[in-house]
Structure 1
Amino acid sequence: MTSVKVPVNGREGDSSPEEGMDPAVDPGLESAAKGRAKEGMAGLAKGLAIIEAFGASTTRMTVADAARFADLSRPAARRCLLTLVELGYLAHDGKFFMPLPRMLRLGSAYLSTSSLPQIAQPLLVDARDELQESISLAVLDDGYAVFVARAEAVRIVSTGVKLGGRLPAYCSATGRVLLSDLTDDEIRRHLAGVPMKRLTARTLADADAVVAAIGRARADGYSLSNEELEVGMCAMAVPVRGRGGMIEAAVSVSVLSGRVSIETLEQSFLPVLRRVAQRIERAL
């Protein structure tokens, strides 16, 4: 399962009349500054917005793409991209900008300082070896389930997201578990700001249906996603609670529906996931 993003169909070159504007006159920077504290750095925020726009379905982008993703003017987007090229985070072939390995340093800063992925990793490996399927750990970030630890099963056809991948919370088993600590009213307010889309014929993209699915996850202590993100792929997730009892993360497994049935997930896989979650909780 790859990270789900809205693909960019239109591709444009770097040159445009807007790019000839005086760099000092940038409406995008001005508007961003109005909503930011005096101590904030609007330029840094814009560069980070562009970095976050890269993903499995957006492996390269033009100036126009970056401006659209990060809600910037083209001159501001171009300056950010060229700065990232100069610093070694991006490559530029004259039209497209693409991430370089140095980009990994940004994610590794969290992974190397957060105890949660370090605690979970060996336990995920144990569960992977027992189930012979990939096991992941994710946290909630801005409406997405972000995967911070993963034990990958070796298969010809792999399933699930990669480390650092993001899935929309409303239609993923992992996301629904992570949202299940919220009240129904809080969930509805969250969904009001989320562009819910039907990714397959089975995707729940209606607020009432999503709230009900999250309610079931809250009551059952686990969530299932049956071909909602991708045809032929099912996933199950359980919560990991911190010392205060609040959900901090979710442990999940993703499988091919032709290989593992929903019945097997609930009867054989669920006890293993719950055991891993409990072991992580005890170690926190």
Structure 2
Amino acid sequence: MTSRRKKSAGDDEVLDRGCPRDFIAAFGKGLAVIQAFSESTPALTLSGVAQRTGLTRATARRFLLTLESLGFAERLDGKLFVLTPRVLLLGHAYLSSMPMWRFAEPVLERLVEDIGETCSLSVLDGTEVVYVLRIPVHRVLNRISTVGSRLPAYCTSMGRLLLSSLPEDKLDAYLAQTAFIGYTDKTVADPLALRRHLALVRRTGYAWVSGEMEEHINGLAVPVHDANGKVIAALNVSVRRPEVDAEAFLRRTLPTLRRAAQRLSNSMIVSGSAGECLSAGKRSRRVRTPPPFQTSRRKTHEHAPFPIGA
């Protein structure tokens, strides 16, 4: 009979409730220490790390010293710890392991040249969207967003696009764990209203959001698919203007944005996923072209109704 270790005072090696049996608590806590640092807290004391992670000071100290020994953290004045650029290796491992990212940058650069607006590629992570690539134009937005930046999914065009592709059970889970905040008077912060907007996104194949995260910030997003037709990312164009003729902007921009998304999807069809590459010698199968956004359906999608201020 397997006995489970009981929690005692100062015991920092106990598994959290709800974690799977093979969960390595120490590894999870080490990642929590890295995530304790942020834009608002770039430098932390030992006590600060312990407070933000819920770890004891002794445990936080061991993790910080380990990160320092490995080159992922350093001390500024003997007390304050900061992360080093070596941490970027962790994010680069994700980007370099995904075939599409190798093809994405030139596609987005061309897209920015064609439409003259900032363009981004984002993925869904929990309740937020994360920028994995962003090509700006020579205009400054109030919110400085770079690769790795996170935004709430429910009130951004790329987030709403990605949420619309979730299976019903995962969407239910998202709605249950999301704290909805009204950033502006246009923000859709009601779960039932959000469901209606997501249903419209599924029908039209794009998401248009205006002034929900910040006044005068508008976003248009379309999906990027993998070789099996699954939505894996959102391609977005951001516009900052006091007044935007949404219908005219969609008519002018949506076809170009979709063509760029199709080029990215095609790169996934050609390269395939890592699993498909490994099994290519064992079996052969015809790769399906992503079902949405076929040429025969584009005209219907391009002029479909959309919610102003969604």
State TM-score, norm by structure 2: 0.74
Q: Percent identity?
A: 36
TM-score normalised according to structure 1 size: 0.80
Cα deviation, 1:180-214, whole Å, max 9, x if unaligned, reads: 12245542222111222223333222211222222
Is residue 223–residue 237 contact of structure 1 (8 Å, CA) maintained in 2? Answer: yes
Which residue in the other structure is 2:221 paired with?
237
C-alpha contact 1:127 1:276 (8 A) present in aligned 2: yes
Distance (Å, rounded) in 2 between the aligned partners of 1:66 and 1:200: 33
Q: Distance in 1 between matches of 2:58 and 2:155?
A: 36
Q: Which residue of 1 aligns with 2:166?
A: 182
* Distance change (3 Å), C-alpha of 1:204 and 1:156: closer
Deviates more, 1:100-109 or 1:261-270: 261-270
Query: CA 1:209–1:104 in 2, change beyond 3 Å: closer, same or farther?
Result: same
Q: Paired residue for 2:235?
A: 251
Deviations 1:104-156 (A, max 9, x none): 11111111221111121111111011112221111122222122222222334
Change beyond 3 A, Cα 1:203–1:161? same
Distance 1:253 1:196, change over 3 A: same
Matches within 5 A, 1:112-127: 112-127=96-111
Asked if 1:171 is matched to 2:155, the reply is yes
RMSD: 2.7
Paired amino acid for 2:65: L
Aligned to 2:187: 203
CA contact (8 A) 2:15 2:25 kept: no
Q: What count of residue pairs does the alignment treat as equivalent? A: 260
In structure 2, relative to structure 1, the CA distance for the partners of 1:34 and 1:176 (3 Å cut) is closer
Matched, 1:262 2:262: no
The aligned counterpart of 1:89 is 72
Matches within 5 A, 1:219-234: 219-234=203-218
1:160, 1:254 within 8 Å by CA — same for their partners in 2? no
Partner residue in 1 for 2:33: 50
- Mean CA deviation greater in 93-102 or 63-72: 63-72
- Which of 152, 159, 184 aligns to 2:136? It is 152
Q: Which moved more, 1:64-73 or 1:243-252?
A: 64-73
In our comparison, the structure showing a higher alpha carbon Rg is 2
Q: Is the 8 A contact 2:37 2:43 kept in 1?
A: yes
- State how far apart, in whole Å, the 1-side matches of 2:157 and 2:89 are: 29
Gapped regions of structure 1 (runs ≥ 5)? 1-23
Tell me if structure 2 keeps the 8 A contact 1:235–1:254.
Answer: yes
Give the AA of the match of 1:41.
I
Label 1:144 to 1:174 Cα distance change in 2 as closer, same or farther (>3 A): same
Counterparts of 2:218 and 2:51, CA distance in 1: 32
Go from structure 1 to structure 2 and tell me whether the alpha carbon gap of 1:88 and 1:126 turns closer, same or farther (over 3 Å shift). Answer: same
Q: Which residue of 2 aligns with 1:5?
A: none
Gaps of 5+ in 2: 1-7, 269-310
Q: Where does structure 1 differ by over 6 angstroms across 4 or more consecutive aligned residues?
A: none
Instruction: Give the drift of 1:264.
Output: 4.3
Measured against aligned partners, the alpha-carbon deviations of 1:233-255 in whole angstroms (never above 9, x if no partner) come to 22111111222222111100112
Q: Helix, strand or coil for the counterpart of 1:30?
A: coil
1:109 to 1:64, Cα distance in 2 relative to 1, 3 A: same
Q: What's the counterpart of residue 101 of structure 1? A: 85
Partner of 1:243, secondary structure, is coil
Offset at residue 98 of structure 1 (A): 2.5
CA contact (8 A) 1:171 1:210 kept: no
Q: Specify the alignment match of 1:80 in structure 2.
A: 63
